Amino acid sequence: MKPTDYPAEYLEFINLFNRGKFFEAHEILELRWRQEKGKPRDYYHGLIQIAAVFVHIQKGTPEGGKKLLKTASNYLEKYRPAFMGLNIEKLLAETETCLFAARKFPQLSLA
C-alpha cells in the first residue's frame, strides 16, 4: 500500500507522534479505533497504548508507561514484524529503549 491509501487518522497519528504530540496522537487514532471493526482494530489499540507510554514519559511517570508497554506489546504481537507500513519490531524496541534508558523519542516512518 502507498501511504496515501491509509486512513487519514492513521497518517495524522504518525504526524503528531513524530512531532512529540503523543496525547494528541492518542486522541486522533482513538476516533478511528472506536469505528474499526476489521483487522486493524487491535493494531490501532496497540499504537494508542504506545502513544500513552510516551505521555507517561513526558509527565515523568515512567512506571505507568512500563505497564502500558506490556499491554501495547500484547496488542501488537500478531502484527509483527510489520503492518500498515510500520516496522513493529523497531517501534517496540525503540519504545522500550526510550522508556528504560531515557533515550530520545522514536520516529515513525512508513515503508
How far, in Å, CA of 109 to CA of 3, rounded? Answer: 10
What pTM was estimated for this model as a whole? Answer: 0.88
Start-to-end CA distance of the chain, whole Å, equals: 9
Residues 66-101: tens digit of each pLDDT:
889 999 999 999 999 999 999 999 999 999 888 777
**Model confidence pLDDT, tens digit, residues 20-77:** 999 999 999 999 999 999 989 999 999 999 999 999 988 988 888 888 999 999 999 9
User: C-alpha distances in angstroms, 40 versus 15, 60, 76, 93?
Assistant: 19, 30, 10, 21
107, 101 contact by CB (below 8 A) = no
